[in-house]
Homo-oligomer: A and B are copies of this chain.
C-alpha cells in the first residue's frame, strides 16, 4: 500500500464512555469531562465528551435492554422507529443523529470509545478494519509514544464484515479496551492509562491538523479468527472453566493440543484447532451470556501508507 493519504483536518472529535455502563474507566472520565472538559482541548479543536448509555451507567450495568455496542448496524440505524424499540436502539439512533449519520458527510471525524475488560488484555486498541489510515496512524502514534503500555491492535470485524460499535458512526473510530478490571470497579492504575491514551490520541490529531506528516509503516495486528464457547452439559450449563494455564494469557500463542478448559473433576480439555492462534478476551465477564469463553485471533502484518493533512 504505497503512496500517501492526504486528509482534511479532524475538527469534530468525541470521546465516549459508558457505552457499557459497568466499565468504569470511561464512565468516570466522561462524567469528569462533562463537568470540566479542559483536558479535551487542543490548539486546533476541542473534543466532546459523550456518556453513551446514561441509563446503564446510572444502574451500573452493561446495558439496560440490549448491548448498545452491537446496535450500530445499518439495519438497526435505518429501521423505522417503534414504541417497542429497546432503550439502546433508541439511544443508538440518537447517537447516530448527533455524531453521524454513519457514512455521511455530516459524520464526526473521529469517535474514541472507552472500554474495560475483565480479561488480562493490557492496553488494546480496537479497530473494525485496517483500511482507515487515520485509525492506523493513531494506533501507531500511541505505540510510539507509549511503548511501556505495550499497546496491541485488535481488529474486530472479519474482512467484509460490518462494524457495529458506537465509534463506527464517525468517519474514524477507535476503541480503547483496558484490563483487567472487574465490572463496576474503578482502578486508579487503569484510569490513569485510559486518560493518558485519550490525551496522546488528541495530541496526535492536533499534530496532524497542524501539518505534521507521518511516514508509512508496517505493524502487527491481531485479527478476529473465531470464538470458542465453554464446554457445556446437556442442560446448557457450563461444565468446565478456563484452564488455569490459559487464564490471564491473552495475546500469548495457543498451540494445538494445549489446555483450554478444566472440569471440576480435573479433566483438561485441549485446543483442537489446526493452527496456533492468539487468544484474547479470555474469561471476559460480559461474554458468558454471549457464549464466548475466549476469542481466537490471527497475527497479521499490515502495511499502512503515509499520512498528512491535505493542502488546498
Q: Is A274 an interface residue (CB 8 A)?
A: no
- Dominant secondary structure at the A interface: loop
The answer to whether B285 and A184 touch across the interface, beta carbons within 8 angstroms, is: yes
The answer to whether B182 and A244 touch across the interface, beta carbons within 8 angstroms, is: no
9-residue interface stretch from A63-71, A188-196, A206-214: A188-196
A191-B285 in contact given A118-B185, A182-B180, A182-B183 (Cβ < 8 Å):
no
Counting chain A residues whose Cβ lies within 8 A of the other chain, the interface size class is 35 or more
What is the total number of copies of this protein in its complex?
A: 2
9-residue interface stretch from A106-114, A235-243, A296-304: A235-243
The answer to whether A285 and B188 touch across the interface, beta carbons within 8 angstroms, is: no
**Chain A contacts with B in 215-274, Cβ cutoff 8 A:** 237-238, 241-244, 247, 262, 264
Give Cα A31–Cα B232 distance, bound, in whole angstroms: 13
**Chain A contacts with B in 38-75, Cβ cutoff 8 A:** 60-61
List, sorted by A's number, 18 A–B pairs whose CB atoms are closer than 8 Å: A28-B241, A118-B182, A118-B184, A181-B182, A182-B182, A184-B288, A185-B284, A185-B288, A186-B242, A187-B242, A188-B242, A188-B243, A188-B262, A189-B244, A189-B247, A191-B264, A192-B244, A195-B264
